[in-house]
Amino acid sequence: MLYRMEGIVIRSMDYGEGNKIITLCTESGGKVGVLVRGAKKSKSRHAALTQPFTYGEFVFFRNTGLGTLNAGEIIQSHHTLREDITKAAYASYACELLDRVLQDEETGAFWFKQLKACLEALESGKDPLIVMSIYEFKILQAAGYAPQLDACISSGQQCADEDMFISPRLGGVLCRGYKHFDPAALSVAPRTLKLLRLFAQMDLNRLGNIDVKDSTKLEIKHVMRQFMDMQLEVKLKSRNFLDQLDKYDM
């Protein structure tokens, strides 16, 4: 059967002497694997379509399993992401995270829109730590692990932000009187908690410039890292590379 879908290349790998297999996150068909014949050849008309982060329209034959590309057109190449090592690292993390969380047969509309908005925000120069924290929040929400940040996850009570602790293991906040349910719960600044609540409601497509102190950004990054590790339990090569970049920047 012939399919025509818009999609974003989230993974690209060599296959045989001259071919590539790309994994697409599509708006209408979820995650799809497509064989691109001759993509490694210098004169291939489809080589550009196999580049990571490329957003395009893909026409491919598929019965079951892997499809075979017939034609395609680039809508947005995102080449500037590939040319900047920091942007490329964040974009790679966004793609790998989605690839690991999104199941092959799962409807991809929400995931596709979040990834598309994330790549566009990174390319436009938005703060990558803020962009990625919001994106991670959306991934958690879509996967059914949205943190509960408005009321204590144990008592249901609403307390002052100064008396709240964040428990990535339990998936939300704990009042001071219930911290014994998770002694490892994190103490964070009230501003950090307020920003995390804001991220839960924010639309990546409408992200403006947010001025956040470096200390607050680092605290948000630490909290989100804990949530991702505790709730999703995925180990990603791209995140290890991001950590190495952070050490270099420091």
- Can you give the pLDDT of all 250 residues of the chain as single tens digits? 898 999 999 999 999 889 999 999 998 888 999 999 999 887 888 999 999 999 999 999 988 788 999 999 999 999 999 999 999 999 999 999 999 888 766 667 888 999 999 999 999 999 999 999 999 999 999 888 999 999 999 999 999 999 999 999 999 999 999 999 999 999 999 999 999 999 999 988 888 888 899 999 999 999 999 999 898 888 888 888 888 887 666 4
The boundaries of the domain holding residue 235 are 80-147+163-248
In-domain check, residue 134? yes
Task: For residues 169 and 51, state if they share a domain.
Answer: no
- Looking at the structure, tell me whether residues 30 and 122 fall in a common domain: no
The residue type at 103: Q
38 and 54 part of one domain = yes
**Residue 154 resides in a domain:** no
Cβ contact 55:79 at 8 Å: no
Specify whether 229 is located in the same domain as 207: yes
**How far apart (Å, rounded) are the C-alpha atoms in residues 218 and 12?**
31
Quote the pLDDT of residue 235: 80
Distance CA 227, CA 236 (A): 14
Tell me: do 111 and 57 sit in the same domain.
Answer: no
CA distance 62 to 83: 33
CB atoms within 10 A of CB 195: 23
Same domain flag for 47 and 128: no
Is 129 in the same domain as 232?
yes
Does 155 fall in a domain? Answer: no
CA separation for the pair 121, 131 (Å, rounded): 7
Q: Is residue 129 part of a domain?
A: yes
Give the E-state strand segments of 141-241 in sequence order. 148-152, 164-167, 172-175, 186-187
Give the dihedral of Cα atoms 114, 117, 122, 125; nearest 10 deg. Answer: -150
Say which CATH number the domain at 128 has.
1.20.1440.120
Question: Do 109 and 203 share a domain, yes or no?
Answer: yes
